[in-house]
Amino acid sequence: MQFTTPIDIPRSPWDIRYQDRMLFLGSCFSDHLAACLGQYYFQVNANPAGTLYNPVSIAHHSHLFSEADVILVTFGTAWVYLDNLLPASSNHLDRVVDNCRKRPAAEFTRYRLNKEEIVSLWLPLLLQHADKRFVFTVSPIRHIKDGLHENQLSKAVLLEAVDELVRQAEESGTGVRVCYFPAYEILLDELRDYRFYAADMMHPSDVAVEYIFTRFAQTYLYDGQTMADMRTLHQLYLDFHHRPLQPESEEYQKFVQALSVRRSELAERFPWLVSGLV
């Protein structure tokens, strides 16, 4: 008997390798994925502008695209806040704020984006960066404060928008590479149990994040050399974070010396590791 509904995820036609610089933008779920990749010493820059949840606020930081080869975007909610103190314009999305900064609620209007608005904003950005590779996800984290029904409506808008973005990008003829990774469906449909949530019943548990990352790796990190390097570098990560019971012992000092040699050897192959090996 089968007690789950596995999500079928085709292997991406393009893979991610160690020389690729990755930029994560979006909700805190993107931080979870970035942290997993950090344990394998990939080149990851996660939310340099802070955690962002809606597609408009994330788009405000598209200037960061130039710093990466692969951009992983996680939409968290379609709900935005419009600044009522800004002058009216033909495009009300110009009044979307990234952060309300504890200003009075009366100064904002809560608004739910629609699919067309998200696509019209993001498709030009994708076409302008046809040399990049984009992975879109919809965060499985539930925005309960919005209300459960409102959260479902919000996620539906995001899922429709991403699906349309991928389709139009593929049909554009520009060569831009855009795909969708179903993190949302993995947690809600494949895992589908509260034991895979953290204590707040909104965020995925560590086990769920690890499982979703495993599916991500199977989809994008499948090159043979990449997988071999991942095993080597993850062991290095574990060794660097090992906490000995007897740090002054001769045995541990020999371990530290051997670790230092391994560090130097790997830094020759992966120069960006110098600052990351801590």
**pLDDT, one tens digit for every residue, the chain (278 residues):** 677 788 999 999 999 999 999 999 999 889 999 999 999 999 999 999 999 999 999 999 999 999 999 999 999 999 999 999 888 877 888 899 988 888 898 999 999 999 999 999 999 999 999 999 999 999 998 888 878 899 999 999 999 999 999 999 999 999 999 999 999 999 999 998 888 888 888 888 999 999 999 999 999 999 999 999 999 999 999 988 877 777 778 787 888 888 888 888 888 899 887 665 54
Is there a single domain that holds both residue 71 and residue 88? no
What is the structure's pLDDT at 275?
63
What is the structure's pLDDT at 57?
96
Query: Does residue 9 belong to any structural domain of this protein?
Result: no
* 268 SS3 class: helix
* 136 SS3 class: strand
CA 114 to chain centre: 22
Query: Does residue 237 belong to any structural domain of this protein?
Result: no
Is there a single domain that holds both residue 132 and residue 181? yes
Is there a single domain that holds both residue 137 and residue 182? yes
Quick check: 139 and 27 in contact, CB under 8 A? Answer: yes
Range of the domain at 253: 242-276
Q: What total number of domains does the chain contain?
A: 3
Domain CATH code at residue 49? 3.40.50.1110
Instruction: Point out the domain boundary residue: 111, 126, 155.
Output: 111
Is there a single domain that holds both residue 61 and residue 185? yes
Query: Does residue 121 belong to any structural domain of this protein?
Result: yes
Q: How far apart are CA 80 and CA 57, in angstroms?
A: 9
Is there a single domain that holds both residue 133 and residue 99? no
Is there a single domain that holds both residue 35 and residue 147? yes
Query: Does residue 43 belong to any structural domain of this protein?
Result: yes
What is the structure's pLDDT at 274?
67
Quick check: 209 and 25 in contact, CB under 8 A? Answer: no
What is the structure's pLDDT at 277?
53
DSSP tag of 11: P
Is there a single domain that holds both residue 29 and residue 158? yes
Radius of gyration of the chain (CA): 21
Query: Does residue 203 belong to any structural domain of this protein?
Result: yes
Is there a single domain that holds both residue 71 and residue 94? no
Quick check: 25 and 229 in contact, CB under 8 A? Answer: no
Quick check: 143 and 100 in contact, CB under 8 A? Answer: no
Q: CB under 8 Å to 119, separation ≥6 — which residues?
A: 161, 164, 165, 168
Q: How far apart are CA 44 and CA 151, in angstroms?
A: 29
